[in-house]
Amino acid sequence: MSRKVPLFRLSVLVFGFAFLYVPILSLIVYSFNKSRLVTVWAGFSTEWYGRLFENQQILGAAWLSLKIAAINATGAVILGTLAGLALARFGQFRGRTILSSMTTAPLVMPEVITGLSLLLLFVAMEQIIGWPAGRGVTTITIAHMTFTMAYVTVIVQSRLATMDDSLEEAAMDLGARPAKVFFLITLPIIAPALLSGWLLAFTISLDDLVIASFVAGPGSSTLPMVIFSKVRLGVSPDINALASIMVLLVAIGVVIAGILMSRQEKTRQRDMQMAIAENQ
């Protein structure tokens, strides 16, 4: 009995991860296909990578998307940290329930609804106060900040919930005012959570098609919008090349993060052993 169970688990994992990774691998393999038909193998070639880097439309859209993603992530981290702090540390305040609903609802709200409603808001605002004039980078960034801050809020809130609040009390007890406590104690301690929140907000923004399509204006096509208009017409080998590059970048990032984390873990364990060894 005890031997059959691991076999079951192993096959589940093999099957599951195959399901998750075969499509991604197939993208990469076919990106080196000479044939324009993508899935009919006609020999090895790196031609499509060359084509990709000549495609000004894709490059421009990629640059725009990266810019929006970076600004969005920064704004979302600021807003999400404030909201997470209020929800995790301020106890019961008036409007707490509303704030907490408003920060979790965007997590599951269908994108078409968010996109449509934000567009209608921007149109109405332009009519009434004249800002934002037209739609473009600003409106996309605002829209992305609104729904990515929800993710940051959840991350910050749960990080703060596991953080020992006596650290903050100790700082206050030693004479630091609340604002100082936040910047000197809370912020450095939750910094890793903020970093992962930033990365998450960055990725989601970089990935978003639907909301951006609603609130974008002429001339502000983001990378997903350009990709979508291309793949709607069928497979296209330079998109495979683009996908491979993105996977490669993510993989490099993950490997680096993994190495850093395991190194940190090792030093931490060595330090602990050292402390125990000389325990007096």
Partner 1 sequence: MASGARNDGRFEPWKAPGAEPYIRIDRVTKKFGDFMAVNDVSLKIYKKELFCLLGGSGCGKTTLLRMLAGFEEPTAGKIFIDGVDMAGIPPYERPVNMMFQSYALFPHMTVEQNVAFGLHQDKVPKSEIRQRVTEMLDMVKLGQFGKRKPHQLSGGQRQRVALARALVKRPKLLLLDEPLGALDKKLREHTQFELVNLQEQLGVTFVVVTHDQEEAMTLSTRIGVMNAGEIVQVGTPSEIYEYPNSKFVAEFIGSVNMFEGRLIEDEPGHVRIHCPDLDGNVYVDHGVSSPPGAVVFAAVRPEKIVLSRDKPASADNMAHGIVKEIAYMGDMSTYLVRLDSGKMARVTQPNTWRHADDRITWEEPVYLNWHPSSPVVVSE
Partner 2 sequence: MTGRAESPTSQRLSTGVQLILRVLHHFAPHRWTHARLLKWGVTGRTLVIAVPYLWLLLFFLVPFIIVLKIAFSETQIAMPPYQPLVHWVGDKAVNLTLNFGNFLFLLEDNLYWKAFLNSLKVAGISTFFCLLIGYPMAYAIARADSTKRNVLLMMVILPFWTSFLLRVYAWIGILKNNGLINNFLLWTGVIDQPIVMLQTDFAIYVGIVYSYLPFMILPLYSNLEKMDLTLLEAAQDLGCGPFKAFMKITLPLSMPGILAGSMLVFIPAVGEFVIPTLLGGPESLMIGKVLWTEFFNNRDWPVASAVAIALLIFLVVPIVYFQRVQARETGGGVHR
Return the number of the residue (71 or 88) whose C-beta is nearest partner 2. 88
Out of 3, 177, 218, 232, the only residue in the binding site for partner 1 (CB under 8 A) is 177
**Largest interatomic CA distance in the chain:** 73
Cα 163–chain centre separation: 23
Closest by CA to 195, choosing from 273, 101, 266, 261, is 261
Binding mask 261-280 toward partner 1 (x if CB under 8 A, else -) reads -------x--xx-xxx-xxx
Q: Which stretch binds partner 2 (CB under 8 A): 42-50, 105-113, 186-194, 267-275?
A: 105-113
Residue 103 binding partner 2, by CB under 8 A: yes
Out of 44, 54, 56, 95, the only residue in the binding site for partner 2 (CB under 8 A) is 95
Say which amino acid occupies 67: K
CA angle 83, 88, 90 (to 5 degrees): 85
* Closest approach of partner 2 to the CB of residue 26, in Å: 6
Residue 56 binding partner 1, by CB under 8 A: no
Please tell me whether residue 149 adopts helix, strand or coil conformation: helix
Pick what 175 binds: partner 2, partner 1, none; C-beta below 5 to 8 Å, kind-dependent. Answer: partner 1
Return the number of the residue (69 or 190) whose C-beta is nearest partner 1. 190
Return the number of the residue (251 or 279) whose C-beta is nearest partner 2. 251
Give the DSSP letter string of 15-42: HHHHHHHHHHHHHHHHHTBSSTTSSS--
Residue 201 binding partner 2, by CB under 8 A: no
Length of the chain: 280
Out of 73, 77, 193, 206, the only residue in the binding site for partner 2 (CB under 8 A) is 206
Out of 91, 166, 234, 262, the only residue in the binding site for partner 1 (CB under 8 A) is 166
* Closest approach of partner 1 to the CB of residue 256, in Å: 22
- Asked if residue 204 lies in contact with residue 65, where contact means CB atoms within 8 angstroms, the answer is no
Return the number of the residue (251 or 280) whose C-beta is nearest partner 2. 251
Residue 167 binding partner 1, by CB under 8 A: yes
CA atoms in the 13 A half-sphere facing the CB of 143: 30
Residues 6 or more apart in contact with residue 1 via CB below 8 angstroms: none
Say which amino acid occupies 234: G
The owner of tokens 């076999």 is 7
Residue 232 binding partner 1, by CB under 8 A: no
Residue 31 binding partner 2, by CB under 8 A: no
Token digits of residue 99:
């704030």
Closest by CA to 55, choosing from 236, 257, 206, 246, is 236
Out of 59, 66, 70, 82, the only residue in the binding site for partner 2 (CB under 8 A) is 82
Token digits of residue 36:
């324009």
Residue 131 binding partner 2, by CB under 8 A: no
Pick what 154 binds: partner 2, partner 1, none; C-beta below 5 to 8 Å, kind-dependent. Answer: partner 2
